[in-house]
Amino acid sequence: MSGCNGSHEDALKILGPEDAAALLRRAVPGDQHDGEIVLGLDWRSRVCGIASRFPGRDGAVPELCADQLRLIAEEVVADVLVLVTFVVPARLAPNAADVARFEGLRVELRASHVELADHLLMAGHRWRSIAELTPLFSRRRPRHRADGDHAA
């Protein structure tokens, strides 16, 4: 994990899932299909820290729970988190359990004053936003493609 607690005007801003996916395309090999990254954002939507877990480096990678995400937010002094899970292409389409997990984490984190902005599934350079599948997100932002699948 790494964090930057200072004020950096040139820090990368993440204003939506497209920005997060673009950052990850540049930073992570396209053949990554297992593991997770958590982007920590400050109140201005600027990246202030990154946490990562990859099985090849860290051993088994169980799903992160709300308490673990809250601790990551505290460590990198983040107000907002974006969870990214690397998957095989066949697993790119979120299912009902993915949406329910995202909403559950979002509710639990809000109780700790941390916002979970999105959970992206990434397979190579393609990605899907789970937040885009939730009713609240759909009312706030238009979707980019009818099928919700994004080529990165």
For the chain, list residues with pLDDT below 70: 1-11, 26-27, 29-30, 32, 135-152
Report the predicted TM-score, pTM, of the whole model to 2 decimal places. 0.77
Q: Residue 19: what pLDDT?
A: 78
> How far is Cα 53 from Cα 134, in angstroms, rounded to an integer?
26
Q: Residue 94: what pLDDT?
A: 92
- Can you list the domains of the chain with their CATH numbers? 30-151 (3.40.140.10)
Query: 2 has which bridge partners?
Result: 50
